[in-house]
Chain A
Amino acid sequence: MNIRLLAGLVALGLAVAGCGGATVDGTAGSSAPAGGSSASAGSAGTVKIAINPWVGYEASANVVAYLLENELGYDVELPEIKEQLAWEGFETGDVDVIIENWGHPDLKKQFIEDKKVAVEAGSTGNKGVIGWYIPKWMADEYPGITDYRNLNKYAELFRTSESGDQGQLLFGDPSYVSNEDALIRNLKLDYKVVVGGSEAALIKSAQQAQEQRQPLLFYFWDPHWLFSKTELVRVNLPPYTEGCDADPKKVACDYPEMDLDKIVSKRFADTGGKAYELVKNFSWTNEHQNAVADDMTNGGMTGEEAAKKWVEANPTVWQAWIPK
């Protein structure tokens, strides 16, 4: 019938017979990666790449998925699992690959060093930086607004029905990397974080703010296609110095520039074969990612179509990733 089912039942039987107790390690139960669903007879296996909710991530995931499927003959699942839950997915077997990881030193310590269920698989080649942004017209109109020390002076501009009598700092998805609350507290800013809930909410607000000259202060990040379409200016927080963000409660400095990297489950690194090699070799530039992300958001393409277009246009880039 079904290999995964058999594997599950056998593991259950063994566990009961052995009386050794049952552990949660993803080798049994619903999520053994090796079998694949019965639809995939003849496939090289199934790779589960977690999808985190921003389009740049999806661009990378879709390109890798496209190559895994079409060049190496794997099945790829793209489950919607947010950043930190995806790390837990390494343990339960729900996730094999996080294709774009933003720092997370605490999770690295916990899941890579302590639990040993995950390993690093190298840089994606992308440089990532998070920051606070305003539309360009505001920087032109209000002198000194890009300095955090002047933000309180202009707080009134940023008031909305959601932020009451404080200025609004618009945030994205609840799962994003965030020091916002600590920054507002520690820099004594008269602002309130209002959660837009998604990348799309941030983009829409940013575009409206620039086109209709509405005030907006918002959380955003580079690499992102939006920078080539809408003029945005970054607000200067106290500059990042090594270790200034060590204690999440006491952060009072800007975000660092991060080398975005790939994390895979230990099991996938050991048994993933060519799929693991491809993931490990995957490395491209911010421009590549932005091109695919732009096609997905504004070109009306699905992730697969956008990936196909990029793969066809850039054979020399990806051919270097394919394991020999």
Chain B
Amino acid sequence: MSSTAVSAAAGLRLPRWAVPAGAAVVIAAAYVVFRGTATLPHDDEAPQFLAVTELREWIDDHRNDNPLFLYFLNYIRLFVGALYTFFQGVLHALGWPGITGVMGALAWLAGGRRIALVAVAGVSTFGVLGLWESSVDTLALVGVAVLLSLAIGIPVGVWAGLSARVRRAVTPVLDVMQIMPTFAYLAPLALFFHIGAPAGAIATMIYAIPPAIRITALAVSEVSPTAVEASVSLGATRRQTLVKVYLPLARSTMALAVNQTIMMALSMVVIANLISAPGLGGDIIRGLSRAQVGIMLPAGVAVVVMAVVLDRMTMALVDRDPHARLRRLDLVAAGVPAAAGVALIPVLPQVWPESLTIDMVAEVNAAVAWAETNWYAVTTFVKDATSYALLNPLESLLTSAPWWLVALTVLLVAWRVSGLRRALTALACLLAIALLGVWEHTMQTMTTVAVAVLVALVIGLALGVAAARSPRFSAVQRPLLDAAQTMPAFVYLLPALALFGTTRFTAIFASVVYAVPPVVRLVEDGIRAVPAPVVEAAVSAGSTPGQLLWKVQLPMARPAILLAANQGIVMTLAMVVIGGLVGAGALGYDVVSGFSQRTDFGMGFVAGVATVLLGVMLDRITQGADRRPSPRKRKVT
């Protein structure tokens, strides 16, 4: 549809920018005329919120006599709870010698000596940091969540890999699940499964399941049809084909599914502490609520270490030659630490000895205090400048504009960028947000996201271009990007909090740091993918490096850059919402407050739903960009 509009304009020989520019002028004029009318101010006592709060009260009162709970949901809770207690019991019974030995052995089996050393060192780190018990609880929670995710995700994934129809049915659901911010999962789960470890494990499981399904499906569907044909023609049953052909051939890709599931689970377990799940999340939230980086930092480090250890172990599985068998030597070598660890259980204390821990709370706090006093002028300036120059004007623009004007703008922009169908989805999401009664806060969150995305894109483009042009810079940057992408999201809040206290800017800073790595990567790959003959032609025609970049490489890399923008927006939104914990306000704060004050539960729940709608909306606005041909190309054809 939009292409007809554009070609009609071209037929009238108007410049290409005339239609969008005209639309912009009309919208601006409408804003000036209608400013302050048809706004939807926030009301803490909106009937939508109260209805949900009442529903929650009702559920709480009938949790133990309603059949749905009595015979179904409570059994799930009980089952997951028992599973968690079992994991936790086994891990605590192993104690630190046992866990260290067994983890070392598993790592050895997965990837040999080096990985085993990483695992042993990593597990010891938990003890050294003085976080042994919380780490074990987190490990148990991750274990339960990952186990359940895989138990459900792999069969569904195999099914989706074998049947195109199932795949079509599952994909949109997974799409939405993957752009849902972590926060949005918590309130509904608290509603159905109450609070505590079981609810936390279920939330983590649901969050971690999409990659398990998606990557398994991919792995199975990529199995060579020749191999399947051969096996079927030799008379294998469907079961035999599945177990003997599909699964072994898909194994290494499926290991990647395990890897991604674990990584997702690790970024969720901490946030699950908001519904009272145990583990390292408690230490991090404690640090947040005391504004003590010294408490948070060790816990953050422990989560990162756990992520690195589990990542290396599972990635070793991915990289392993699928035909290699375990050598007896490896089995023996792996058996030694396991046996040693288990044998030492009765001898050594179960809990890491206190004399071997390093307590750095005071030192870290002192360092942060030093940075606060000495960088106060700079950080305050950056924070206030951003607030006054960007955040406050944009926020008052969005909140004072009539809702229909914002909706119209979203529709037009999405239509132009991504086509009519996606534009209508985006519009529907926005209207649903208005109906939910969280319009004003959504606009505020959108402001924060917009500013953060802007900054992230500028930095990401600069670094991406630099990396694409200098292989040496790229080689230095790659491992940093890899490391940054392994870290769970909230870890980025720590330095932000240390530098900027609790304000909206803290969330912006954290989300920029969080979103920059994928943006850099996409931009770099996009520019590198520009065909060499094109570059050569431009250079031989006498382009300066600047012209080459602006006139050739960036325009040709447009789809990749737009994809980067899309990724950046989705990641930024997720982070800005978590930023509700550190002063970002608006929707994220509503969610936090919904867990803290019972009377605000409804508002938090609705805000969680609104973040999902906002995510879908922003995604749809930008998503089509990479698939549509650029206007320039269209003109040529």
Contact = CB atoms under 8 A, between A and B. Distances in A.
A21 B502 CA distance: 46
A185 B599 CA distance: 18
Interface stretch (B69-77, B160-168, B480-488): B69-77
Given A31-B197, A39-B92, A197 B502 contact: yes
Contacts of A1: 89-90, 93
A83 interface: yes
B93 A174 contact: no
A24 interface: yes
A117 B245 CA distance: 56
A248 interface: yes
B84 interface: yes
Contacts of B124: none
A8 B292 contact: no
Given A38-B93, A80-B282, A201-B502, A8 B276 contact: no
A200 B497 CA distance: 12
A22 B70 contact: yes
A233 interface: no
B92 A200 contact: no
B282 A79 contact: yes
A258 interface: no
Interface in B575-612: 581-583, 585, 589, 592-593, 595-599
Contacts of B285: 80
B282 A25 contact: no
A53 B383 contact: no
A294 interface: no
B45 interface: yes
The bracket for how many chain A residues form the interface is 35 or more
B596 A4 contact: no
A23 B195 contact: no
Given A80-B286, A107-B598, A174 B589 contact: yes
B351 A91 contact: no
Contacts of A5: 82, 85-86, 89
B238 interface: no
Nearest to A162: B503
Nearest to B136: A37
B504 interface: yes
Nearest to B81: A29
Interface of B is mostly: helix
Interface string A17-34: 000011111001111000
A30 B596 contact: no
A85 B503 CA distance: 25
B376 to A, nearest CB: 10
B387 A161 contact: yes
Contacts of B589: 174, 195
A324 to B, nearest CB: 32
A12 interface: yes
A2 to B, nearest CB: 4
A243 to B, nearest CB: 19
A91 B194 contact: yes
A2 B597 contact: no
Nearest to B502: A197
A15 to B, nearest CB: 7
A27 to B, nearest CB: 11
A12 B291 contact: no
B311 interface: no
B95 to A, nearest CB: 8
A25 B70 CA distance: 12
B195 A92 contact: yes
A115 B194 CA distance: 15
Contacts of A89: 195-196, 276
Interface string B41-59: 0001100000000000000
Contacts of B84: 30
Interface string A72-86: 000000011111110
A9 B82 contact: yes
B224 interface: no
A88 B92 contact: no
Contacts of B86: 5, 8
13 contacts: A21-B74, A23-B64, A24-B194, A28-B78, A79-B282, A84-B597, A89-B276, A91-B194, A94-B196, A115-B61, A195-B583, A195-B585, A196-B583
Given A174-B593, A178-B597, 16 more contacts: A1-B93, A4-B89, A5-B82, A12-B78, A15-B78, A21-B71, A30-B88, A31-B197, A37-B92, A39-B350, A53-B289, A80-B289, A84-B597, A162-B503, A162-B583, A248-B599
The 10 closest A-B pairs by CB, nearest first: A21-B70, A29-B81, A175-B596, A200-B291, A2-B89, A22-B74, A161-B387, A53-B289, A197-B502, A23-B64
